[in-house]
Structure 1
C-alpha cells in the first residue's frame, strides 16, 4: 500500500510539471441517495451502471458520448434495439466497450470493473440495496473507486434535474447540464402552465400499462411516480395510484374493468432481443406506425380491456417505454397531455420538442415513431 501511494504521488508531481495540463480537482459530491462522495473531477474514465445511461451522457458529451465510457451494463441493445442501432451506426466503437451484468441480479463483475481503472461508477438508485448487501461500495472504496447514485427511474420527476447537475459536476460540464435542465423545465411548464389556467378542466382517468405484451401477465403499472406522475402532470388521474403504493406494481384485470378508465396508455419498445416475436408494441425511433397500431389493437382484446370506455372511444395509445428511465420525460408529459386534452394542447407538438432536443443536445438525428394511437387523427 505504501509503495502504491508513493507511486501515485510521484505520478501526480510529474503531471504537475507538464505545462498547460490541468490536474483533476477533488470535490465532494452529494449523490441522489444523500451520500457525500469524493471524486477527482472532471472524470475521464467512467463505468455506467446501466447502458441506457448513455441517454444522459450523450446530452452532455454530445460530440463524443462514449469518450469517457470504459465499461457499461449490457442492457442498451436489449432494451432499446432501435436506439442502439442508431448510435452504433454513428459510433461503431461503442460495440467494443466492455459490458457488465447488473448489481441487482448479482452478475456485476467487480474485478473486471477494477481492472478498467474507472474514476467513478455511476449507478441507478434502484441498485442501491443490492450494492449495499453485496458490500460493493466498501470493496470499491478500498481500491479508490467512488460510486455515485443518480435517478431517472424511481422518482424521475423529482430527481432528474438534480441527477443531471450531479453528472455535470462529474464531467466538468456544469453549464451544459444547467442548459439541459432549463430546457427540461421549460418544456414541462408548457403543459403545467396551461393546466394551471384551466383548473376546472375535467381530468380523465388513465390506466398506464407498463410494457404491455412483454409477457402474458396483466397488468404491470405505475404508482404515484414515473409514468404515473407524468399522467398527473399532464392533467389526468392515474388509475393505478390507488392500488400501487410505490413506483412500480401490478393491477389485476378486475380492477381495470371496475375502474373503467377513460384512456389507456401502454409503454413499449423494440424488445426483439428480450422477447422475440412478442406481443409488445415496438414504438421507438423509426418504428412503423401501422405495425405499432396493429399490435396495440391486439392487446386491447385481452379480457381486462374489452368493453372498457377507453377502448370503446378509441382512446388507446402507446408510448416509448424508455421515457421512464431517461431525462427525456418532458416529451412524454407533452404527448400524454395532448392525448388527454387535445383541445387545450392543439398547438403543442411533442415530436417537434423531441426533435429540438436532438438538435440541441444529442449526437444522432431524430427519427419519429415514439408514439402510436388508435384514436383517429391523434
Structure 2
C-alpha cells in the first residue's frame, strides 16, 4: 500500500510540474505576443525593441539613463516621456536650443544633461559616453561604425531615421517602446496623423487659390530649404510654393542674385541661426541687398516659432508649425482653427504644461515678428 502511495505521489508531482511549466510557457508566450504588437518582446529583466532601421536591440526592462545624439530627438524623448529626468546626455546644438526655449523652464533637470559625449559633427566619444552609465543611446541610422563601438563597451544603441514626417512618427513609436511609454507615444503619433489628414482635406480649397512664393532661409549665408527639405512639404501643405523647390538637396547655399530673381513674397527665417527679421528688413547683412524683395516691401519677413525645440525641423510640435505657416500664407482658407488655442491645448494635453499667454507669445516670436 505504501509503495502504491509513493508511486501516486511521484506521478502527481510530475504532472503538477509539467502543468505549471506549461502555464509559465503560455504566460511567457502571451507576453511576447502582446508585446509583439508594438515590436517589443520581453524576457526576465530584459526587453527587445525594433528600431526604425529594423534592427533588434536588447535593453534593460527599466531604462533609467539615456543619451541622445540626433539634435531634435531629446525634445521628442521629453515629450514622449513627460519628463527630462532620464535624459542625461544631449547634442550641443540641442542644448543650445534648450537654453533659448520654453523647455528650459519646463524641464530644469535637462540643464544637467551632458554634451561632452558627442561632437557638433555627431562623432560619439566612447570614453565620455562610458562615464554617463547609460542604459541606451539614441543615434542616427547611418552611424553603423559607432553602433558597433558602443556595443563593444556595453551600450545599446537605438537607431532612428529622420527627415520625413513618417520617419518622425516611427521614431516617436520607437522612443515610446524604449521608455515604456507606448501609450503616450501612440497618442502623440495619432495627433500628428490626424493633423496631416486635416491638411489633406484642405487640398481642394487650396487648389483654387494663388499660392504665395515662400523662401525658407536657414542662416545669413543664404542657405535655403531646397527640394529635399521637409520644409518644402510644410509650405505646400500650408498652401504656398517654395521658390527654391527646383534646387536639389535639403539645405543649399544660393546667391543674392538668385533670390532677387525668385523675389519671394514671404521669407521665413529659421532658429538655427541668430539672425532676426530686422536684419533683412533694415538691410543689415553685409554683401546682401534685400530692398527690392516683395517680402521686405510687404513686411512679410518672419522668424519661425520655437517651442520646446526649433519648429523648423520635424519635431513633436510639427503640426503646430504647419498651422502657423498656413495662417501666414492662406488665412482665409485656414480660418477654422485658432492657433493660440491649439498651442495651449497641445501643451496641456501632451506636455502637461499650462502655458501662459506670455509663453505663447514667446513661442510665436511675436516680439521679433513685430506682432
TM-score range, shorter chain: 0.7 to 0.9
Indicate the residue corresponding to 1:145 in structure 2. Answer: 155
Structure-2 change in CA distance of 1:38 and 1:222 (3 Å): farther
Tell me which residue corresponds to 1:221.
Answer: 225
Q: Which residue of 2 aligns with 1:75?
A: 93
| Ranges in structure 1 where 5+ consecutive residues have no aligned partner | 1-21, 272-277, 282-292
How far off its partner does 1:303 sit?
3.6
Shift of 1:29: 0.6
Q: Which residue of 1 aligns with 2:251?
A: 248
Change in Cα spacing, 1:59 to 1:80, as seen in structure 2 (3 Å) is: closer
1:118 maps to which residue?
A: 134
Contact 1:41 1:171 in 2 (8 A): no
List per-residue Cα deviations over 1:241-293 (Å, max 9, x = no partner). 211x2222222211111122232211237x6xxxxxx6x12xxxxxxxxxxx6
Q: Hey, what does 2:173 align to over in structure 1?
A: 165
Q: Which has the larger radius of gyration?
A: 2
Contact 2:46–2:58 at 8 Å: present in 1 too?
no
How far, CA to CA, are the matches of 1:355 and 1:231 in structure 2?
23
In the TM superposition, what whole-angstrom CA distance separates every residue of 1:26-83 from its partner, at most 9, and x where no partner exists?
Answer: 224132x443433344422211114653321222221xx1222232333334234332
Q: Which runs of 5+ in 2 are unaligned?
A: 1-42
Q: Secondary structure at the match of 1:320?
A: coil
**Displacement after TM superposition at 1:328 (Å):** 1.4
Out of 236, 239, 243, which is 2:240 matched to?
A: 236
Distance 1:201 1:224, change over 3 A: farther
Instruction: Name the residue aligned to 2:282.
Output: 298
Are 1:27 and 2:48 matched, yes or no?
A: yes
Query: What is the distance in 2 between the residues matched to 1:313 and 1:72?
Result: 40
Instruction: Say how many residue pairs are matched.
Output: 320
Identify which of structures 1 and 2 has the higher relative contact order when contacts are C-alpha pairs closer than 8 Å and 6+ apart.
1
State the match for 2:14 in structure 1. none
1:178 aligned partner: 186
Q: Quick one: which of 33, 39, 62 aligns to 2:59?
A: 39
User: Are the aligned partners of 1:100 and 1:107 in contact in 2 as well (CA < 8 Å)?
Assistant: no
For 1:101 and 1:25, locate their aligned partners in 2 and report how far apart those are by CA, in whole Å. Answer: 25
2:230 is aligned with 1:209: no
How far apart are 1:344 and its partner, in Å?
A: 0.9
Question: Does the Cα contact within 8 Å between 2:165 and 2:314 map onto a contact in 1?
Answer: no
Measured in 2, the distance between the counterparts of 1:356 and 1:306 equals 39
Q: Return the offset for 1:340.
A: 0.9
User: d(CA) in 2 for partners of 1:313 and 1:300?
Assistant: 18
**SS state of the match for residue 202, structure 1?**
coil
Work out the CA distance in 1 between the residues paired with 2:150 and 2:201: 45
Contact kept, 8 Å, 2:95 with 2:115, in 1: the verdict is no
The DSSP-based 3-state class of the residue aligned with 2:244 is helix
Equivalent-residue separation in structure 2 for 1:300 and 1:25 (angstroms): 57
Cα displacement (A) at 1:87: 3.9
User: Which deviates further from its counterpart, 324-333 or 359-368?
Assistant: 359-368
Query: Distance between the aligned counterparts of 1:51 and 1:219, measured in 2?
Result: 19
Q: 2:268 aligns with which of 260, 265, 272?
A: 265
C-alpha contact (below 8 Å) 1:319/1:370 kept by paired residues: no
Change (3 A) 1:354 1:106: closer
